[in-house]
Chains A and B, each alone.
Chain A
Amino acid sequence: MALSPQTTPSGYQTGFLLPSIHSAPPFFTEQPNPNTQAQFNEQWIRLILTYARHRRLFSLRVEDAVVAGSEWDEVLRNERINRRMVPAHLSSILAAMVAKNLAVYEPAKQTSAVLLYWRLPEEWADVLHSWATATGQLNTILTYYEITDPPVPSSLSDIPLPLLKRAVNVLTRSGRAQIIGVAEGEGIRLFAGGK
């Protein structure tokens, strides 16, 4: 299979470097050979996760392959070779990601949208804990909104609530956080922890 490996920096104000395989037409269609398909899936997963990290995207929907104009266009479409991702193909990639614990279906019990784990909940837990330590917010009561929408932008800005809750759960399991519930909602308190 002679691919045309031209590395293409995508111009669009993001400056993300697309891998050369993104310019290969077969990359966009499901391959009959399972080995090839597995390898392509591998590449797609890496591409999706690095792109998501680059642009801080947290979710990917099958719909993104259908409707143009989403933030995923650069990756799911390649106008220069006139190829784009087919929804069924994307859906199978999403399934592969969920199987590898690189994403979860969010909300659960459907298969058309995932929450991307370019950081695992355990890693987010560490990010959350070190943010609280660095900003001196250990032992104070924090609301989720305060974390996802802090007055000073942090690495946790705009983190989706389900992901944040998973990270908090990781921390409570190691005794580094406590969830406080009141009628109005929930809050958490972080501790230095014995770790």
Chain B
Amino acid sequence: MGSSQSAPKVTAQDRAILDLKLQRDKLKQYQKKIQVVLDREQEIAKSHLANGQKDRAIIALRRRKYQQGMLLKTDGQLENLEQLVSTIEFSLVEVSVLHGLQQGNEVLKEIHREMNIESVEKLMEETQEAREYQREIGDILANRLTHDEEDAVQTELRELQALAIGKAVPDERIELPSAPTAPPVISEDLEVVQSPSTNSERIAIPG
């Protein structure tokens, strides 16, 4: 059981923070204790008063006052401790932010070293030259073709175009019936014609 394989090292800072936090916890516990005592003293004072022992009640209340003072003092101390703890924690965050910025800066520098302006200009020039060169080659190649050949190329292109268009729009025309222009007329003859025919059929098949 390797208990801490990948855990980061405990630094002196960590120990200091832990120490502070433990102190803070102790103060909090102490405050809790005082609060209990405070409540008890009041109970005592009440019961003394009920028994008519005014002087003892006063002593209890005095003790209570003293404890209250202590509570206030510890409050101040607690505030100090907590401030210190949060300041340290915030500083740690700041340190990590600074570290991040530094690293980013390093990387940026590295990239810039590889990409100085002169080399970029040179690169752009070379690209331009290469492009010119390419165009020249193209020109030379194009000039090699004679006018006849050029014409032949053009006619072939036209033929191809014609073929493509011919495929897209087939020449044969389909005769479609035109839609009626007048509203349909319901003829009653149809019914009359239909029924005798069925009748005659029935008669035509004798059993």
A contacts, CB < 8 Å to B? 140-143, 145-146, 149, 172-173, 175, 178, 180, 182, 184-185, 187, 189, 191, 194
User: Which residues of chain B from 1 to 29 have a CB within 8 Å of any chain A CB?
Assistant: 1, 3-8, 10, 14-15, 17-19, 21-23, 25, 28-29
A-B interface contact total, Cβ < 8 Å? 49
User: Which residues of chain B from 134 to 160 have a CB within 8 Å of any chain A CB?
Assistant: none
Given A175-B7, A178-B7, A141-B1 contact (CB < 8 Å): no
Nearest A residue (CB) for B17: A141
B132 contacts the other chain (CB 8 A)? no
B contacts, CB < 8 Å to A? 1, 3-8, 10, 14-15, 17-19, 21-23, 25, 28-29, 89
A141 touches B14 (CB 8 A): yes
B1 touches A173 (CB 8 A): yes
B22 in complex: contacting residue of A140, A143, A189, A191, CB < 8 Å: A143
B28 touches A145 (CB 8 A): yes
A184 touches B3 (CB 8 A): no
A-B contact pairs, 23 of them (CB 8 A): A140-B89, A141-B17, A143-B18, A143-B22, A145-B28, A146-B25, A172-B4, A173-B1, A175-B4, A175-B6, A178-B8, A178-B10, A180-B18, A182-B15, A182-B18, A182-B19, A184-B18, A184-B19, A184-B22, A184-B23, A187-B18, A187-B22, A194-B6
Nearest A residue (CB) for B10: A180
Enumerate chain B residues within 8 angstroms of A182, measured Cβ to Cβ.
15, 18-19, 22
Given A178-B10, A180-B10, A143-B5 contact (CB < 8 Å): no
Nearest B residue (CB) for A189: B14
Q: How far is the CB of A76 from chain B (nearest CB, A)?
A: 29
Enumerate chain A residues within 8 angstroms of B29, measured Cβ to Cβ.
145
A146 touches B21 (CB 8 A): yes
A172 touches B3 (CB 8 A): yes
A66–B17 alpha-carbon span in the complex (Å): 46
Nearest B residue (CB) for A151: B28
Nearest B residue (CB) for A188: B18
Nearest B residue (CB) for A148: B25
Enumerate chain A residues within 8 angstroms of B18, measured Cβ to Cβ.
141, 143, 180, 182, 184, 187
A172–B15 alpha-carbon span in the complex (Å): 18
Nearest B residue (CB) for A149: B28
